[in-house]
Chains A and B, each alone.
Chain A
Amino acid sequence: MDSKQIHQLLERYWNCETSLEEERALREYFRGQVPENLDEVAGLFRYFESQQQKEISGLDFDGQVKQQIRQHRPKGKLINLAFALRIAAGLLVVMVATYFVRQEMRKSYPAEVADTYSDPQLALEETKKALMMLSKGFNKAEKEAGRLKVFNQAEQKIQGKVLDGETEDQI
Chain B
Amino acid sequence: MLEDFENRVLPTKNKLFRFAFRLLGSSEEAKDVVQEVLIKVWNGRENLTAIQNIEAWCMRITKNLALDRLRARQRRATNPIEDGAEIRNETLTPHERTEIHEHMQRITEMIAALPEKQRQVIHLRDVEGYSYNEICEILELDMNQVKVNLFRARNAVREKFVKINAYGL
Contacts and interface: CB of A to CB of B under 8 A. Distances in A.
Nearest to A54: B18
Contact of B35 (A46, A48, A64): A64
A108 interface: no
A48 B127 contact: yes
B22 to A, nearest CB: 8
Nearest to B16: A56
Contact of B107 (A43, A58, A76): A43
Interface string A58-72: 100110111011001
Interface string B101-140: 0011001100100000000000101111101000000000
B51 interface: no
A43 B111 CA distance: 13
Interface residues of chain A: helix, strand, loop or mixed (majority): helix
Contact of A52 (B21, B34, B93, B127): B127
In this complex, the interface size class of chain A, counting residues with CB under 8 Å from chain B, is 20 to 34
A55 interface: yes
A15 B27 CA distance: 32
B88 interface: no
A72 B17 contact: no
Contacts of A13: 154
A67 to B, nearest CB: 11
A103 interface: no
B107 A44 contact: yes
Contact of A62 (B10, B21, B31): B10
Contacts of A51: 18, 123, 127
A5 interface: no
B34 A56 contact: yes
Contact of A69 (B42, B127, B161): B42
A47 B35 contact: no
A55 B17 contact: yes
16 contacts: A16-B150, A23-B126, A40-B161, A41-B161, A44-B161, A47-B111, A50-B93, A50-B100, A56-B30, A56-B31, A57-B27, A65-B10, A68-B35, A69-B5, A72-B42, A72-B43
Given A47-B111, A56-B34, 4 more contacts: A40-B164, A40-B165, A41-B161, A51-B123
